[in-house]
Every structure is written in C-alpha cells, then in structure tokens.
Amino acid sequence: MLELGGSDPYLICEDADLDLAAAKCVQSRLNNCGQTCISAKRLLVHAAVLEPFTQKLLAEIAKRRMGDPEDEATNLGPMARADLRTNLQRQVDASVAAGAHCVIGGNVPEGPGLFYPPTVLTQVRPGMPAFDEEVFGPVVAIIAVRDDADAVGLANQSAYGLGAAVFTQDIERGKRLAHQLECGACFINDFVKSDPRLPFGGIKRSGYGREMSAIGIREFVNVKTICVGAVGC
C-alpha cells in the first residue's frame, strides 16, 4: 500500500457558490502552509466566473497572517525545510518564465524563518511546473477552462490522481464530473480531507491501495487459507 503525493484539481463551475468555493480553496491550499498532499493545487475555473472568483480568492488570502506559529493571531506558518522552499521558488520562477502571471507573492521574504508568502499564479497551462508538478507550498495555480469537458481533460492531464473537488450548485452535475475525474476521492462543494470512515488513497503516481475504513483495514490483514480434504483444491 502506497500513499504518495498529489496535484489535486478543483473544478469551479460557472454556477458555483463563489464565496464558498473561494473560502474552501484557500483553506485547503494554505493548510499547513500548503504542505499537504490533498490540498487544492490546480484551480480549474470556468471562464465566465474567472474574474469574480479570482477576486474572492484574493480577498480570502488577504485574511491570512503569516508569522510566528506560537502567536495565536498567526494562521500561516513557515515551511518545513529550506530545500522545500528553494524548490518551490524554482517552480514559481520557471512557471512565470514560461508565461504564467504572478498576481501576489512569488518571492522569498527577508528575515528569519522558512516563510513563503501566499502566491497566486494565473494563466497557468500544461508544461509549466505549477501545472505538471506537485507544488508543495502556499502557491495557487489558476487555469481558465471553457466548459466541463475542457475542465475534466485538463484535470486528468496529470501524472497524479489523489484527490479532486467540484464546486457547483447542481449536485447531479457534480456527481457526473466526479465520476469522470481520475482520482481516489472527489468532494463536491468541499475540500478533500481524510476521515477514518472513508477509504483514502490515490491512483497513478499518487499511490496504490487504500487506507482507513473497512476497505483500508483489509489492506493490512493477513488472510490464511486452510484446505481440508479433496474439495477441489
């Protein structure tokens, strides 16, 4: 059983509750300073709501305070290691050099601590590290899509398949899209999370097998076969 990384796509449909979608995406992306395998990494936003969603996303990010984790007012701490931050900066710089637009953030701040500011990249497309690689830090990649088919195609254009989310007020539409997404778990109108009651794991480069729930328990059980007599064995 392997539980590996992810580059989770979040689909923002044109009929989504944009306030809810923005809040959930930011909560997911900035949790643990973005160092979470199931955080929202690629936001595929229908073109009709691209501008208002982006503005709401920026407003949610503005509520975050980066600083000392022991300060109760802080809700965005530092990264775990220097090499992780260095690689994150490489991914941002390479994506911008390839045509992505950095709306906010994008540079290592001065001062002590392995901090990295919330960063929003727009005009992201395949071929950029922000799209192709797992970005393990507080960097949001926004990809504009034409329709559901375009969104699903770009979401599945990834070596990873851990989690995904769909934001729409049409639950049946959300279910249809969830079935088309190549991932181990898809949440509708919420961010992906683990729960002991739910099977957890991915496909493709995101892992093999499942942990948690009754399905996960069986992954770790050694089954013993005892055959008595001639019963076709």
Residue 233 lies in a domain: no
Conformation bin of residue 229: beta by default, left when phi > 0, alpha when psi is -120 to 50: left
Q: Which domain holds residue 16?
A: 2-219
Question: What local confidence, expressed as pLDDT, does residue 44 receive?
Answer: 98
What CATH number did the domain enclosing 154 receive?
3.40.309.10
Number of domains in the chain: 1
Q: pTM of the prediction? A: 0.94
3-class state of residue 94 by DSSP: helix
Residues carrying an active site annotation: 3, 37
pLDDT of residue 228: 85
Tokens at residue 43, please? 């936001």
Tokens 């689909």: give the residue.
11
Q: What is the pLDDT of residue 233?
A: 55
Amino acid 53: pLDDT: 98
Residue whose tokens read 């097998």? 209
106: in domain: yes
pLDDT of residue 219: 86
- Is residue 225 one of the residues assigned to a domain? no
Residue 187 three-state SS? strand
Query: How high is the mean pLDDT in each 10-residue block of the chain (233 residues)?
Result: 94 98 98 96 98 98 93 94 98 98 96 96 98 98 98 98 98 98 98 95 95 91 85 59
Is the distance from CB of 16 to CB of 113 less than 8 angstroms?
no
Q: What is the SS3 assignment for 191-204?
A: CCCCCCCCCECCEE
231 occurs within a structural domain: no
